[in-house]
Amino acid sequence: MAYDPYSNLYEVTKIQNLRDVIKKRVNEFPQNPVFLIKEKKGGDYVPVSTEKYDHDIDSLGTYFLNTVSKGARIAIFAETRYEWYVSYLATTNGTGCVVPLDKELPVDDVKNMVDRAEVDILIFSKSKLDIVNQVYGAKSVKHYICMDEIKDDRFLYFYDCLSQGEKKLADGDKVFTEATIDPEEMTILLFTSGTTAKSKAVMLCQKNICKNLMSMFSMLYIDRNDVWLSVLPLHHTYECTCGFLGQVYRGTTVAVCEGLRYIQQNLQEAKPTCILMVPVMLELFYKKIMKQVNSDPKTAAKLKKGIKLANTLHLSNKMRRKIFKQIHDIFGGRMRLIILGGAPVNPEVLKFFQDIGFQCVQGYGLTECAPILALNRDKFFKNEAAGLPLPGCDVKILDPDEDGIGEFISKGDNNFMGYYNDPENTALALDSDGYYHTGDLGYIDEDGFCIITGRKKNVIIAKNGKNVFPEEIEYLLSLSPYVAESVVSGVTDEVKDDIVITATIFPDIEEIKAKLGIDTDPSEDQIMDILKDVVSATNEKLESYKKIKKTVLRMTEFEKNTSRKIKRF
């Protein structure tokens, strides 16, 4: 090891609970707006001061504790917006337990989760009114609060509730501001996106989140003047912890994206310096950039020459941003840091963005780890690795095979409390020594980095008894411009008594058309001819028992959850 990867960690503020997160920000970084929001679609970004946010949290929290008992469950069912942020901390900072719900959930799932979580208050936006109308009358829900003003006596209006709390606060009511907070009590209940089975309800306490925040920001430098663009779903713990709570904690500003189709526009308006993404988003930017570059041989040559020069001279990112200004302008012109998580990232894509002047790193997390377990540092990183275990996290490989590959297990203050009302699954996930069994397979290299090879439940057992990791093959397929998405599976051939490695591929039709030199949609035979060449080239990189034996063409995108992960089964 060249040097200690944990040397020179960044200094961070100590926090015990989420009340500390906002109160210490008010004291340490009052000058920066905490959010940039739009009061109407297409309007200008309007700053929200730290003082206003803090006051609104205390006002709404005061209303809550004058309306329901301490310990109440409060669910949030809405798109990312200012009221979401207020509701979250008004719940955790003295009231009870927050239950963030996926805004894309169908009515049956909302009903199920509201009942399972025993929700007392359901806060929702007008966009979810149709579903809430069908959920109305859920056995535990006592109050429904709409973030938007609507004419319906069944529902309270968010800002009326906030005003009532504000008045009580002004009159000296301290029921919320002086409420005790137990850092080890469940105050966050998160439903996993469970792609293959009924979602589990993950119980987190504030110690879990605070430990994650302190460890994570000790590894990556975040400046109090940074501006983040929030593009991922806020109910998901990746965005919630790393793209909301972390920004409040570090004194930075969050600009709320209006929706995925507005990313390009909002990048130009907010001019962010940092962003959290899932790999598919960055890969779309990469493909768009390379398509434009490769359309002109002179531009392609200029880019290649510029990267070579920058690397030879070891130019700073500041200099690279000047050389590759046209690409940086796509991201608003000020972007310095891109953090990726949620799925493996193509190292070549990471390297490209690093070459042109972005700090671009990936991390690895799970809801049960609040969520980050490992993270690449800005000073010490490997593009092929998920990252270094967070300080304070004991990460091991369980039952490694001859190649050192086994299941990642972890122990630390960021480990969840268990699954709500589900002792059976809790016992399977948390062993008697307190280690969480992640279900992810891989190894820890000589420098301490976590290298993930696949999911335990996805592993294909070949006829020779060896493990085949679908993710490895899918990654190799993804290197082809003609493959948009793929899923590799093992199909049992009863006649031949064999496991047939099968690749189901959704092609990139535009790239196929460019390859064929046609403007009309290609035939399935034309597509399959190209994909057969792709599979053949992929097989050359694989050992015999891993080779793809069957290729299936899929003409529509794979179904995904809201974290943009493919639902494999």
To the nearest 10 degrees (0 to 180), the angle between helices 206-219 and 18-28 is 50
Q: What is the pLDDT of residue 2?
A: 59
Sign of CA dihedral 48, 53, 55, 61: positive
- Which stretches within 136-228 are classed as H helix? 158-170, 206-219
Encoded tokens for 74:
């409060």
Say if CB 220 and CB 361 are below 8 A apart: yes
Say if CB 217 and CB 249 are below 8 A apart: yes
Mean residue pLDDT of the chain comes to 93
To the nearest 10 degrees (0 to 180), the angle between helices 470-478 and 524-539 is 120
Which DSSP string corresponds to 36-73?
EEESSTT--EEEE-HHHHHHHHHHHHHHHHTTS-TTEE
Q: In the predicted model, is pLDDT for residue 465 greater than 80?
A: no
Say if CB 132 and CB 147 are below 8 A apart: no
Say if CB 77 and CB 103 are below 8 A apart: yes
- Which stretches within 336-408 are classed as H helix? 347-355
More confident residue, 1 or 34: 34
Sign of CA dihedral 56, 62, 64, 66: negative
Domain 49-181 listed as CATH 3.40.630.10: no
504 φ, ψ to 5°?
-95, 120
Q: What is the pLDDT of residue 569?
A: 62
DSSP H or E stretch at residue 395: strand 394-398
Encoded tokens for 147:
């973030």
Encoded tokens for 67:
């309306």
- The 8-class DSSP code of residue 429 comes to H
Q: In the predicted model, is pLDDT for residue 197 greater than 50?
A: no
Q: What is the pLDDT of residue 458?
A: 83
Residues in the chain, how many? 569
Q: What is the pLDDT of residue 193?
A: 67
Q: In the predicted model, is pLDDT for residue 564 greater than 80?
A: no
Quickly state the pLDDT bin for 549 (edges 50, 70, 90).
Answer: very high
Integer Cα distance of 371 and 415 in angstroms: 9
Helices (H) and strands (E) in the chain, counts: 19, 26
The pTM assigned to this predicted structure is 0.89
Which fold does the domain 27-46+206-390+410-436 belong to in CATH? Rossmann fold (3.40.50)
- Whether the domain at 27-46+206-390+410-436 and the domain at 49-181 fall into the same CATH topology: yes
Q: What is the pLDDT of residue 330?
A: 96
The percent of residues above 70 in pLDDT, for the chain, comes to: 97
Integer Cα distance of 258 and 79 in angstroms: 9
Of 325-329, 430-434, 441-445, 454-458, which gets the smallest average pLDDT?
Answer: 454-458
To the nearest 10 degrees (0 to 180), the angle between helices 50-65 and 18-28 is 150
- The 8-class DSSP code of residue 345 comes to -
3-state secondary structure of 376: coil
Q: What is the pLDDT of residue 271?
A: 98
Q: In the predicted model, is pLDDT for residue 194 greater than 60?
A: no
Position of tokens 């053949």?
A: 536
**pLDDT tens for residues 348-390?**
899 999 999 999 999 999 999 999 999 999 989 999 999 999 9
Architecture of domain 459-553: 2-Layer Sandwich (3.30)
Domain residue spans of the chain = 27-46+206-390+410-436, 49-181, 459-553
Say if CB 482 and CB 508 are below 8 A apart: yes
Average pLDDT over residues 15-31: 94
More confident residue, 541 or 344: 541
Average pLDDT over residues 193-217: 86
534 φ, ψ to 5°?
-60, -45
Q: In the predicted model, is pLDDT for residue 81 greater than 90?
A: yes
3-state secondary structure of 103: coil
Q: In the predicted model, is pLDDT for residue 273 greater than 70?
A: yes
**pLDDT tens for residues 283-335?**
889 989 998 998 899 999 999 999 999 999 999 999 999 999 999 999 999 99
Integer Cα distance of 269 and 248 in angstroms: 21
Encoded tokens for 497:
């008594």
Which DSSP string corresponds to 451-479?
EEEEEGGG-EE-TTS-EE-HHHHHHHHHT
- Residues 6 or more apart from 186 whose CB is under 8 A from it? 97, 203, 204, 205, 417, 420
Integer Cα distance of 541 and 536 in angstroms: 9
Q: What is the pLDDT of residue 195?
A: 40
- Residues 6 or more apart from 341 whose CB is under 8 A from it? 238, 242, 276, 278, 362, 363, 364, 365, 372
Quickly state the pLDDT bin for 219 (edges 50, 70, 90).
Answer: very high
Quickly state the pLDDT bin for 223 (edges 50, 70, 90).
Answer: confident
First to last CA, the chain: 41
Which DSSP string corresponds to 375-400?
E--SSS--TTS-BEEPTT-EEEEES-
Q: In the predicted model, is pLDDT for residue 196 greater than 50?
A: no
